């Protein structure tokens, strides 16, 4: 039976004589199913329906106990606390809602058997390369779902950056071989669950239905099929979550269970967007409150994560998606804006159910200290453990740009990058951080680098050899450009993803010589990384820049890889005699990109703004 979060097929309305009738009262039960064998035996069902709060509720199933019926401010809701014994067997059972003077409502609830296959929730690590894409802008595999007349936004305008363009999950599925060939091992889509908003609903960050894939992208069943196909091809899947806010057109906003579902203000109040207010030992309570409780946008209600019903709803939804589809990791949107204690509890519960699962949080902040403040193990400053393994490392991104575009100074140019990496002591494990050059919220790397192909290659070389989990943004490999003001300009369609596109840049024939040069560079280096554990889990040793050249090594017992970036505006010959600690015993090397042998390692001549990636040989 096909699943939908808006329940239709599994609802039965029965009279006392057993005759079925239409259901006028019950709208939703979420989660619509659960599983036996979960580490946490408790689950809280949210029931929404016309005056359902006036019902007496009962159920009968071996091993399942209804421990509490929670009636809240809004009589259209009930929250049912269930406890599922470890011995409970999979199966269906009725939940009965009785109200005086009306017919009973009987909902058939199902407990399923957990999936135990090896590829289920396997985690994303520093062995992986993440490819970030926006499903609406990547590829359109099913034009029949481009417009849904039952949704608030019915336009499809590819010439408008703020309208929907028609990309979907089927389109992505059709391009998995392209991604695998590129060297990608993990895929991160911006949120694909339903955003039923009247405009700009394509980005996915104003959720209106937490249990439903947006109908313009596909179905829940298709999403599950996509994950399975990706796993079959050796690709992992990351799901993008939004804890902080909710689209105001969600049923949970239009008919809130209680006023405290979201943060309320006397008049509309934005967040101040100042993460420092959360960590400032001298800060005011007012600034911290506005940072955490202020709304992100007028169309995005700020969820009250101190509300236990909100907590249960979000946590269970996220666990549901992992168990339902078998995804491998979560990216957490706007992480600093969330309630820290709740997020720590959330992470513990997710990890308890899925020990190999990976989590990283978005922290677009300006210093290593600000990033590290939010990460796991930083208990001295927090007084508790956030349980957040890694973050999106925007600071190392800025440092790479400074090395490429800046002028040499005591702490500028290549020295900025050296100094940032030297601060890794602030993290419990910096290799869990996701490193990147751009994403859907910022100017594309090619534009930041003024379309300089030499700098572009250097950026890619450092991204794919630095510690951490590298992430590339869709189209980077074919030199897509765009400036983030306005944001839409960095969210263009991937050429060739739509039938009738003039150029198909998923193929070599559709790309220009310059684009193929860039594509082949990324493809060569990313596939080398995929087959070189030293660049994944190996140690990192860096040296203070010399002669304007930043040099570091990635190494393990099997291989040593030397990376040299010349930050000068002219060709520089690097004297490597200072690097004996890492180079002793090596007599030659191989340029990873060209495949050419380097016989003289004592002096390496590097063109301006270029990076060499050299596998050392004995």
Whether the CB-CB separation of 334 and 244 falls below 8 Å is answered with yes
Q: Please give the structure tokens belonging to residue 541.
A: 């040793």
Q: How far apart are CA 337 and CA 297, in angstroms?
A: 13
Q: Locate the DSSP E strands across 252-376.
A: 300-302, 329-332, 358-361
Please state whether beta strands 358-361 and 329-332 pair in parallel, antiparallel, or not at all (unpaired). Answer: parallel
Phi/psi at 292 (nearest 5 deg)? -85, -35
| Sole residue written with tokens 């959720």 | 207
Task: Say whether 68 sits in a helix, a strand or coil.
Answer: strand
Q: Which of 249, 275, 362, 424 is labelled catalytic?
A: 362
362 catalytic? Reply is yes
Q: How far apart are CA 114 and CA 323, in angstroms?
A: 7
136 catalytic? Reply is no
Q: How far apart are CA 555 and CA 540, in angstroms?
A: 7
Q: Please give the structure tokens belonging to residue 186.
A: 């993990």
Q: Please give the structure tokens belonging to residue 18.
A: 């057993």
Angle, nearest 10°, between helix axes 340-353 and 308-325?
Answer: 30
Note if the bond before 499 is cis, omega within 30 degrees. no
266 burial class (0-12, 13-18, 19+ CB within 10 angstroms)?
exposed
Please state whether beta strands 104-113 and 130-133 pair in parallel, antiparallel, or not at all (unpaired). Answer: unpaired
Quote the distance between the C-alpha of residue 515 and its chain's center.
Answer: 27
Please state whether beta strands 603-606 and 572-575 pair in parallel, antiparallel, or not at all (unpaired). Answer: antiparallel
Q: Mind giving me the DSSP string for 539-593? A: EEEEEEEETTEEEEEEE-SS-EEEEEEE-SSS-EEEEGGGGHHHHTT--EEEETT
585 burial class (0-12, 13-18, 19+ CB within 10 angstroms)?
exposed
SS3 string, 484-501, reads: CCCHHHHCCCCCCCCCCC
370: Cβ contacts below 8 Å, ≥ 6 apart: 275, 276, 279, 363
Q: Which of 333, 353, 393, 477 is labelled catalytic?
A: 333
What is residue 408's DSSP assignment? P
**Maximum Cα–Cα distance across the chain:** 92
Catalytic residues: 333, 362
């Amino acid at each position: 039976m096909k699943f939908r979060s808006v329940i239709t097929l599994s609802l039965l309305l029965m009279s006392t004589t057993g005759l079925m009738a239409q259901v006028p009262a019950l709208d939703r039960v979420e989660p619509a199913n659960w599983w036996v064998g979960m580490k946490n035996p408790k689950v809280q069902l949210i029931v929404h329906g016309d005056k359902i709060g006036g019902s007496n509720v009962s159920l009968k199933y071996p091993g399942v106990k209804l421990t509490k019926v929670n009636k809240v401010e809004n009589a259209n809701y009930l929250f049912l606390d269930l406890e599922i014994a470890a011995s409970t067997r999979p199966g269906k059972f009725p939940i009965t809602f009785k109200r005086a003077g009306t017919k009973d409502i009987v909902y058939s609830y199902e407990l399923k058997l957990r999936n135990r296959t090896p590829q289920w929730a396997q985690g994303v690590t520093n062995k992986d390369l993440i490819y970030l894409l926006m499903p609406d802008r990547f590829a359109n595999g099913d034009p029949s779902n481009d417009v849904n007349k039952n949704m608030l936004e019915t336009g499809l305008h590819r010439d408008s950056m703020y309208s929907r363009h028609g990309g979907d999950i089927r389109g992505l599925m059709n391009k998995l071989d392209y991604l695998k060939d590129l060297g990608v091992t993990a895929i991160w889509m911006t949120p694909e669950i339903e955003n039923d908003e009247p405009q700009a609903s394509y980005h996915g960050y104003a959720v209106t239905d937490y249990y439903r894939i947006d109908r313009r992208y596909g179905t829940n069943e298709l999403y599950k099929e996509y994950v399975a196909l990706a796993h079959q091809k050796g690709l992992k899947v990351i799901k993008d979550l939004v804890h902080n806010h909710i689209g105001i057109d969600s049923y949970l906003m239009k008919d809130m269970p209680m006023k405290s579902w979201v943060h309320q203000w006397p008049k509309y109040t934005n967040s101040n967007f100042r993460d420092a207010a959360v960590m400032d030992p001298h800060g005011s309570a007012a600034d911290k409150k506005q940072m955490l409780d202020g709304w992100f946008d007028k169309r995005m209600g700020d969820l009250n994560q101190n509300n236990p019903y909100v907590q249960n709803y979000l946590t269970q939804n996220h666990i549901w998606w992992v168990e339902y589809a078998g995804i491998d990791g979560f990216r957490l949107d706007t992480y600093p804006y969330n309630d820290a204690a709740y997020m720590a509890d959330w992470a513990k519960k997710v990890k308890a159910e899925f020990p190999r699962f990976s989590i990283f949080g978005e922290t677009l902040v300006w210093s290593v200290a600000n990033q590290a403040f939010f990460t796991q193990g930083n208990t001295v400053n927090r007084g508790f453990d956030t349980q957040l393994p890694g973050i999106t490392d925007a600071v190392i991104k800025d440092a790479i740009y400074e090395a490429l575009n800046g002028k040499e100074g005591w702490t500028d140019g290549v020295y900025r990058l050296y100094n940032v990496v030297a601060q890794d002591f602030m993290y419990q494990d910096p290799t869990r951080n996701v490193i990147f050059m751009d994403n859907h919220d910022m100017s594309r790397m090619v534009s930041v680098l003024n379309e300089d192909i030499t700098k572009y290659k250097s950026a890619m070389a450092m991204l794919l050899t630095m510690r951490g989990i590298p992430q590339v943004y869709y189209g980077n490999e074919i030199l897509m450009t765009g400036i983030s003001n306005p944001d839409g300009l960095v969210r263009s369609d991937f050429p060739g993803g739509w039938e009738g596109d003039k150029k198909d840049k998923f193929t070599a024939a559709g790309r220009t010589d310059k684009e193929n040069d860039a594509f082949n560079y990324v493809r060569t280096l990313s596939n080398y990384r995929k087959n070189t554990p030293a660049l994944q889990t190996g140690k990192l040793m860096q040296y203070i820049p010399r002669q304007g050249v930043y040099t570091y090594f990635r190494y393990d017992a099997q291989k040593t890889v030397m990376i040299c970036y010349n930050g000068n505006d002219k060709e520089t010959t690097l004297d490597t005699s200072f690097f004996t600690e890492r180079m002793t015993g090596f007599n030659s090397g191989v340029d990873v990109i060209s495949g050419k042998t380097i016989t003289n390692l004592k002096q390496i001549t590097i063109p301006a703004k270029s990076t060499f990636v050299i596998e050392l040989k004995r």
